[in-house]
A = this chain, B = another copy of it.
Amino acid sequence: MFFVVGLGLCDEKDITVRGLEAVKSASRVYLEAYTSILMVQKDRLESFYGKEVIVADRDLVECGSDEILKDADKEDVCLLVVGDPFGATTHTDILLRARHLGIPTRVIHNASIMNAIGASGLQLYNFGQTVSLVFFTETWKPDSFYDRIKENTEGGLHTLLLLDIKVKEQNEENLARGRKIYEPPRYMTIRQAVTQLLEIEALRKEGVLDADKTLAVAMSRVGGLDDQRILAGPLTSFLRAPPDAFGPPLHSMIIVGKRLHHLEVEYGEVFAEALGEAIALSGFDMEGEGKEEHREKGKKEGRGRWREVASKVYGVALD
């Protein structure tokens, strides 16, 4: 049997009991390691499973899938995938390949960013299509994301933005010379995302996004144990917060749609307070009571901004 096992969002303990059984029964275990990033390293998985984990890069999954699938009709082989197996196209590819080879397959589901964004308190059924934001370059600033956000916001829907990840990139010289030397991984930050959004709004001027009147939620390490961060507020607030406020990557972002419910606003208040606090404490170096006061003031301001836009711009009736 060929198993594709979702690992969930955070670390080795987010695998399901059923997934762990599949791993333990397998002759070979591969870890898909390029469409997403697990928050732990391979060696931690290996010591948790008590067996070797083979890292499968893009070349192996896309061009060498027959190597992964070898003998999977006679023994169990696992491919581990961060999140859920159906988060990225490539896994339907390898499942199709297994089907053509007559190899029985089983998918073991798990949480993925696509449903874990519920942690924002925004209702999943009010999300429209998901939009990917890619890094702009000097010469290449694709803006099709703007039309997709527009389609969602016109229907009052929330939009999940998946921020670009660059792993195993080669610079031009190494690419030209065929040297397998890679640049350090890059992850788009919330700040970069907001900047790109507002840059395209300034060009297109269709009023889809507004620095002060569009609410957003920033999430990092959703499902992480102690490092999950959720911040909420109007777009402009995200530019005022210090970079470290957003925590380590991966970052995702939600553009809040007009079909906003008062319970969603209420649930988001702590995230708005957290953003206000981060802004207030940025560059603030006083210790003691002054700091606590300043922190409370920041939280209150963050909550106030969130509620004000929700009620005045989004038309949500609040107490």
Contacts and interface: CB of A to CB of B under 8 A. Distances in A.
A132 B124 contact: no
A136 interface: no
Contacts of A92: 121, 263, 267
Interface residues of A, number: 53
A214 interface: no
Nearest to A8: B16
Interface in A105-135: 107, 109-112, 114-116, 118-119, 121, 123-132
Contacts of A116: 84, 86, 109
A204 interface: no
Contacts of A17: 12-17, 20
A52 interface: no
A115 B128 contact: no
Contacts of A127: 129-130
A239 interface: no
Contacts of A131: 125
Interface in A12-26: 12-18, 20-21
A100 to B, nearest CB: 10
Nearest to A83: B115
13 contacts: A8-B16, A13-B17, A16-B16, A84-B116, A85-B118, A86-B119, A86-B121, A87-B118, A111-B112, A124-B130, A125-B129, A126-B129, A151-B155
